[in-house]
Structure 1
Amino acid sequence: MTLNRRIVLKGIGIAGVATVFGTGVGAANGPGKGVAPGEETIAEIADAAGFDLLLAAVDYIAETNPDSELVAGLLNDEQYTVFAPTDDAFTALLEAIELESFADIDEALGAGTVEAVVSYHVTTGRRASNSVVPPRGERRIETLLDGARFTVNAEGAITAVGNTATIVDADISASNGIIHVIDSVLLPLEL
C-alpha cells in the first residue's frame, strides 16, 4: 500500500473503505451470499481505515505476550471475523473507566485483561453479515475468549456480558477474514 493510498483511505473513513473495497452490508455478492476474500489483510485494512487504537491494543498484546495465539492468528492466513471497535469507542471506554492506556487497564484489572477484551471481538472463520445478523431473533457468536459469547439481533445490535454495541458497517472483506465495524468496545466482564 502506498502512502498516498493510505492517506486517501484514512481521509474517507470507514464508510468510504467499504465503498473502495466494494463491500458494506449485503453488498458484496447480494443478500444471503458469501463475501469474496479481499486482497489486503485485516491488519492492513484496519491500518488504512484508521483503527489506530485497535491496532495499538494488538501491538500491546504482542509486546506483553509474545506467544499470544490471538496475535499470531491475526497476522497469518487463518480466517477470522473481527468486530472492530472504532477509535471513538476505545476512547469512550478509557474515559469511562478513567484510565489512559492499555497498560493501565492490565494494571487495574489484572494482567491479560486487554488480550481478553480483544479476543472477545474475534471469532474463527469468515462470517459475513448474513451469518452474524439473523433474519429475526438473536444469534449467538462464539468468540476466541475461552468460549465466551455475545448475541446479535436482527437490527445488528450486540449484547455482550458487560455492555451493548451496534454493527455500523459490515462485510469489509480481507484476505484473512471479515471486519464488522462496531460503535462500542465489547466487554466480557461487568465493570
Structure 2
Amino acid sequence: MERWHRSLRAQFLSELDTTHVHDLADLNARLWAWVEQIYHRTEHSGLCNQTPLARYQQDLPRIGTLGARAAQLDELFLHRIERYVRRDGTVSFQGKRFEVPYELVGKTVLLVVDPHTGTVKGVESEAGEPLGAATLLDAVGNRTRKRRKSQPETVEPAVTGHDAPIENAAHGPNLIELAYQRHYAREL
C-alpha cells in the first residue's frame, strides 16, 4: 500500500491540473483514467517487469467465481472470541454481558462477533458448530427471573401435535423448552 500511495502522489497528484477539476466527480474521472490508461499499463519491478494488466490476464484462468459461497462470504470474516460461560449462563464482551444457552455453563465457547459493527451474532463450539444465540443481558428485567439448574435429561421422546402433553416445569419440559430443544436439535 505504501508503494501505491507513493506512485499516486508522484505520478497522479503531481501531474494533476486542478484548473480542470470542478467537483469530486471530475477528480474521480481523472483518477480512473490514470489508473486504467497509465498505472495498469506501466511495467512494475515488483511484478517482474510486467504490467498489472498483463499479470491479471495471466492469472485469469485460475480465478473462479464464488458462486453459492458468495452468500457466506460475510460469515468468513466474523471474529471468534473465546469466552468462559459463567454459572449464571452469561459471557462478557466489551463491558456487556450476554446470555447464552444455559447448558453451556462452565464451558469455554467462541463468541461470534461482527468486527465492523461490534455486534454479537451467536455462540459456536471450537469446531465451528453453532451452539445458539447470545442475547444482550437485560439486568433490570432479569433481576427477578427465577432460574433453575439444568437437570440430567431423562425425558421420554415428546409427542408432537395437538395431543402433546404440556408438562409442569417442576415435572418436566414445558412448551417453551420443547420448542427450544426442537429448534436447536439441528445445531447441537
- TM-score, with normalisation over the residues of structure 1? 0.20
| TM-score, scaled relative to structure 2 | 0.20
Structure with the bigger RCO (C-alpha within 8 Å, sep 6+) is: 1
Larger Rg: 2
